[in-house]
Each structure stands twice: as C-alpha cells, then as structure tokens.
C-alpha cells in the first residue's frame, strides 16, 4: 500500500494521510445535509438524494485516489446544485427528471473529452502565471465562504458586505475555533486544523450551540425515487432550453474542476514545471462521477475545494481519498451525528486554508502589466461573483487580449484564443 501510493516519494505516512482524510471529510460533510435540502426544493426525494450524494462521493473520491493518486474529494457541487434547483427547475420550469438527464449527458460528454485528453490539454496549456492566480483566487474565495459561514461577515445593502454580529453565540463559536486553530498551527501542532474542528464541535455541544443527536445510528434511505430515472427522460432533452442547460453545466463544471485541480495539486506539491502528472486520470474520475451521480440521483459533482483543508494537514496521496471515501461510507449509517458538523464549526478551517492557498500569489509576475491585470481580475472575480468559472473567464479573455496588444500573439497557444472566444459567448448568451 505504501509503495502503491508512493508514501516515501511524497514524504508522508499512514497517520498523516488518515488525519488529512478525516479533516477533508469533516470540511465537506455538510454536503450530505445541504445537498438534499437544496435538491428537494426541485421536487426530488431528500432521502434518496442523501444516499445518492454519499455514494457519488464515495465512487468519485475512490476513483481519483486510485487512478490519479491525488489527496482529493469529489462530491456534488454546491454551486451546481443551486443552479440545478433555482435556475433550471424553478426558474426555467424544467422537471427535475429532465434536468437530471441533462446532467447525465453532460457527464458522458465530459468522459469523452477526458478520454480524448482534450480537457487535459486545455489545463496544461494554461499559462503558469494564470495557474498561480487561479489557486490564489480560490484561496480568497474559500476564506470568504468561511467568514460568511461563521457569521464574521454578512451581507449589507449599502456596502455589499460588512462585519457580522460578533456577539452572536454561533459567531463567537466560530471566532473561538479560529483562534484555537491559529494558535495550534503557529505552535506547530500537527493536524491543528482537524483538532480545531473537533474541539470547536465539543465546545458548541457543551454550551448548547450545537444540538446533541438523540440517536447515533440511522437507516439508509432508499434511492428508488431517483435511481435510473434519467434513462426514461433522455428523449426530452432535445429542446433549446435543456440544450442550453447542458452547455452551461459543461462550461461551469469544466472550469470549476480545472481551477480546483490546479489549486489543489499546486498546494500538495504535485504540480511540477507547469504540468500536473496524471491530470487526465483525475479528470476521468471527475467526469465518471458526474455520469454515475446522475444515474443515482444527484446533480453534478466536482472536485471539492474543501480538500485543501486535508492537504494543509499533510495529505499528499490517494490514501487520503481512501480515508475520505471510508468516512462517507460510515456516514451512510450514522447520518444523525452529521448534524454536529455545522458551518460555524468548519468555518475556521476554510478561513485558514485560504491563507495556505494564497501564498502562491507572490509567484505571479506582478511587474508586467500584461500579466498583472488578467491575473488580478482572475483572483478578485472569484470571491466577488462566488464562481471559480467566472474568475477564470476574466483571465482567459484578458490574458490573450493583453498579449495581442503587445504584438506577442505568437506566445499564446491557439487553444487560448478558442477559450477566449467561448467565454465571450458565455458572457453574451448565458451569464
């Protein structure tokens, strides 16, 4: 096992990988609660979605762990499940069965693009400066989510965002967890982020801020209401609205995953010389999870940016993913205790992880304006729009434009021009 996952080569151990896997699971476990809540508003059975969510995460995470040896989790995407429910099903009036069939088709197209190595080629031709900008942008985005989840910042109609109610008990819990985590990390405590989550959870239960579950073991809900329904609705996808939805799923999922993989492999030290080893296998795992998830009954999964929490603890190989998948499997039987993993508990981990991911910002060539402008807008647009894909779009449009103005168009890979045009069309007709 040590040889298969290359423990020696990546300077890791069973203890380090296990701790990383547990940390990532605790950071992403909320999806088991939130995904059914969101998709049920589209008319789907919440119990079936819970089981489908867990199984999709298990399959996708094991695939990326064994095929690519990455310490990463794959789980249903928060952005895409919201798009599925509120934009597609509620906003456009498309039945969830038909929308899920669209997700399935998008997953199959992704698999074909991955097998043809088209996705891999696109990721590898992204300029190095933009890759560092993408990782940094996701770092700011993750920290923004953590601050919002902890109640430390809140929406404001006049200033867009402002400081939250710092006297709120749940916000104080998040702040306490943040301070404890910072202290442990600075003191060099191995696994400080993981221990921060556990200690914060215990404190929350002691002071009644987190409900102590009345039962521990629960039955696994049936997937009968959702399993396989996509196959009986494939003939309904050939309408302009549904085809537009499929295209949107393709664009957003493609670049959300690309951005996350670039950021996470860079953080884990896997990316070398502007190239990511076995990226094709990782993309195949991600796309396969998309098709399988649709069959089981959940919206599009993606590479989870919360994996950065486990990487920060020391996750370096696919054994971390094996631990994450095992935790999801256990969660199927112990669903009641998932209620103790609240957003306030995981907020400190996300805030701190953002710091680790932003460290690469210094590697962007800020002395050259033609590099600085697209890199900066790539970074800033991710937290401001809550979308990795839109941040990437700004970078992919402006980077070639800036170099063309300098008559350096020969330095740009032809695929970058194609992506530039696609994102312009994306803004013109979809966003």
Question: Is residue 102's pLDDT more than 90?
Answer: yes
Question: Residue 138 has what pLDDT?
Answer: 79
Task: Determine the average pLDDT of the residues in 5-12.
Answer: 93
* 45-56 pLDDT per residue, tens: 988 999 999 999
Question: With 70 as the cut, is the pLDDT of residue 383 above it?
Answer: yes
pLDDT surpassing 90 at residue 4 = yes
From residue 419, alpha-carbon distances to 279, 406, 422 in Å are 19, 20, 5
Number of neighbours of residue 382 by Cβ within 10 angstroms: 28
pLDDT band at 251 (very low <50, low <70, confident <90, very high): confident
Helices first, then strands: H and E counts in the chain:
17, 4
Higher pLDDT, 40 or 53: 53
**0.85 exceeded by the pTM?**
no
pLDDT for res 45 = 92
Write down the pLDDT at residue 179: 96
* Per-residue b or e along 131-143, where b marks 16 or more CB atoms closer than 10 Å to that residue's CB: bbbbbbbbbbbbb
* Cβ contact 358:263 at 8 Å: no
In this predicted structure, the answer to whether residue 128 has a pLDDT above a threshold of 90 is no
pLDDT in tens, 221-239: 899 999 999 999 999 998 8
**pLDDT of 37 above 80:** no
pLDDT band, residue 430 (cuts 50/70/90): low
Check residue 51 and give its pLDDT: 95
Element (H, E) at 58: helix 46-68
pLDDT tens-digit series, residues 153-211: 999 999 999 999 999 999 999 999 999 999 988 987 767 877 888 899 899 999 999 88
Query: What confidence score (pLDDT) does residue 20 get?
Result: 95
pLDDT exceeds 90 at position 407: no
């Amino acid at each position: 096992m040590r040889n298969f996952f290359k423990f020696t080569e990546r300077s890791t151990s069973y203890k380090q990988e296990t701790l990383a896997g547990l940390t990532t699971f605790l950071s992403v476990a909320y999806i088991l609660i939130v995904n059914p809540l969101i998709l049920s508003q589209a008319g789907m059975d919440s119990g079936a979605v819970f089981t489908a969510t867990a199984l999709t995460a298990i399959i996708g995470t094991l695939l990326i762990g064994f095929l690519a040896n990455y310490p990463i989790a794959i789980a249903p995407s928060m952005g895409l499940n919201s798009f599925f429910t509120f934009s597609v099903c509620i906003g456009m009036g498309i039945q969830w069965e038909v929308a899920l069939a669209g997700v399935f088709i998008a997953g199959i197209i992704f698999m074909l693009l991955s097998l043809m190595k088209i996705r891999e080629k696109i990721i590898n031709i992204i300029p190095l400066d933009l890759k560092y900008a993408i990782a940094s942008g996701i770092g700011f985005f993750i920290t923004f989510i953590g601050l919002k989840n902890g109640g430390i910042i809140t929406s404001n109609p006049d200033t867009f965002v402002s400081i939250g109610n710092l006297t709120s008990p749940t916000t104080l819990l998040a702040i306490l967890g943040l301070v404890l985590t910072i202290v442990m990390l600075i003191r060099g405590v191995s696994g400080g982020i993981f221990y921060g989550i556990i200690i914060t959870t215990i404190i929350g239960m002691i002071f009644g801020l987190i409900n102590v579950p009345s039962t521990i073991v629960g039955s696994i809900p049936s997937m009968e209401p959702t399993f396989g329904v996509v196959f009986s609705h494939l003939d309904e996808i050939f309408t302009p609205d549904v085809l537009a939805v499929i295209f949107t799923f393709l664009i957003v999922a493609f670049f959300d995953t690309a951005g996350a993989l670039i950021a996470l492999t860079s953080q884990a030290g896997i990316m070398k010389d502007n190239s990511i080893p076995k990226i094709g296998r990782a993309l195949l795992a991600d796309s396969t999870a998309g098709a399988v998830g649709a069959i089981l009954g959940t919206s599009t999964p993606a590479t989870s940016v919360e994996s950065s929490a486990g990487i920060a603890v020391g996750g370096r190989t696919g054994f971390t993913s094996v631990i994450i998948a095992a935790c999801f499997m256990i969660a199927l039987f112990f669903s009641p205790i998932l209620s103790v993993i609240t957003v306030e508990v995981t907020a400190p981990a996300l805030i701190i992880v953002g710091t680790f991911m932003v460290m690469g910002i210094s590697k962007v060539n800020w002395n050259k304006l033609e590099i600085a402008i697209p890199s900066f807008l790539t970074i800033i647009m991710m937290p401001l729009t809550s979308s990795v894909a839109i941040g990437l779009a700004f970078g992919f449009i402006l980077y070639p434009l800036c170099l063309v103005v300098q008559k350096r168009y020969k330095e740009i890979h032809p695929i970058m021009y194609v992506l530039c045009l696609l994102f312009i069309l994306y803004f013109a007709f979809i966003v």
